[in-house]
Structure 1
């Protein structure tokens, strides 16, 4: 993907040097809603909050195996993007007793929890300092796309079930003071 904005490119992935802590694979020690249990990295908090068909009991609720699997996943240091295999589709995400569809999970888990934790990092402070100078920044992320080229707002992005929404979008939401509007849209 080319940079048509003539801005500073910032790779927000786990291999990006001084900005690597922006990556969900690296961003770590994430508090959960369970007292005393934290996720070793944000990616696993997100991925292991998803409930798959094989994790359902007869009433469609997460079964005991899912809770063990989730807790195990949250304690793993190595981030797992596809813990059930690439292409596996979750039935829903589960957070603090709530079953959440794809979009609601973005708004209740992904965006706010990533934001709450990433703003505490030196990587984010460096990014914000650059943004605050007025310089154009192009954020790179495996699940990002040029939403402006598609005439999509950030509210469109968070509400679009047909496209992935990576952490770079959450960073943009924070930097542009759009996070609250997006998660409450």
Structure 2
């Protein structure tokens, strides 16, 4: 039996003792922007550089830079400065500052996409590009860990349903999906 079915997603906010009790024997790896090397590279904020922006001829430093840069608010449109942020800070653009989110641009000059469609056409392709082109060595390491003892990926978000707009999507769930679909198929 393949142990990749033993990849779990859990909240980074949980105490280590709770996680160890819930997932006995599994290795626990933080994949957020607060993680240690090399796992921090899985954070959407990590500045891999040269990430193609879907529906555009431009590239960006990070997946989160793409997501935030293409976000359109009631009071402001695309912010191309987000594409070049490499500090992992100051990327988020908020409702509090710019008003209601209207959607995301399909590329820098494209039409406005609703939230779920934007996840599928912008966020997923950008994040999957990073997995395919920047993180193969680390994905192999995660596969080995999962096969040996089971794996818990820590993320601030635990929503694994791309079609659920009530919470941000867990990027850890995209890592799990990639591992289950691509490396061991």
TM-score by length of 2: 0.72
Of 112, 125, 131, the match for 1:112: 125
CA RMSD of aligned residues (A): 2.3
Please list every run of at least 4 consecutive aligned residues from structure 1 whose deviation after the TM superposition is greater than 6 angstroms. none
Q: Is the Cα contact below 8 Å between 2:73 and 2:95 reproduced in 1? A: no
- Of the structure 1 ranges 133-142 and 42-51, higher mean CA displacement relative to structure 2 is found in 133-142
Matched, 1:126 2:179: no
What is the CA–CA distance in structure 1 between the aligned matches of 2:150 and 2:104, rounded to whole Å? 35
Matched, 1:5 2:23: yes
Which consecutive residues of structure 2, in runs of 5 or more, have no partner in the other structure?
Answer: 1-13
Of 43, 52, 63, the match for 1:23: 43
Which consecutive residues of structure 1, in runs of 5 or more, have no partner in the other structure?
Answer: 56-65, 146-153, 179-185
Aligned-partner SS, 1:14: coil
Q: Could you tell me how far 1:22 is from its partner in structure 2? A: 0.5
Q: Is the Cα contact below 8 Å between 2:74 and 2:102 reproduced in 1? A: yes
Matched, 1:75 2:84: yes
What is the CA–CA distance in structure 2 between the aligned matches of 1:112 and 1:162, rounded to whole Å? 21
TM-score by length of 1: 0.72
Aligned-partner SS, 2:140: helix
Q: Is the Cα contact below 8 Å between 1:13 and 1:141 reproduced in 2? A: yes
Q: Could you tell me how far 1:86 is from its partner in structure 2? A: 5.3
Q: Could you tell me how far 1:175 is from its partner in structure 2? A: 1.5
1:96-119 Cα offsets, whole Å, 9 max, x none, are 323211111111111222012123
Q: Is the Cα contact below 8 Å between 2:27 and 2:145 reproduced in 1? A: no
Greater relative contact order (CA < 8 Å, ≥ 6 in sequence): 2
Of 171, 174, 179, the match for 1:167: 171
Q: Could you tell me how far 1:89 is from its partner in structure 2? A: 3.9
What is the CA–CA distance in structure 1 between the aligned matches of 2:74 and 2:95, rounded to whole Å? 13
**Change beyond 3 A, Cα 1:84–1:38:** same
2:116 aligned partner: 103
Of 139, 152, 164, the match for 2:153: 139
What is the CA–CA distance in structure 2 between the aligned matches of 1:134 and 1:161, rounded to whole Å? 34
Q: Could you tell me how far 1:27 is from its partner in structure 2? A: 4.4
What is the CA–CA distance in structure 1 between the aligned matches of 2:168 and 2:59, rounded to whole Å? 25
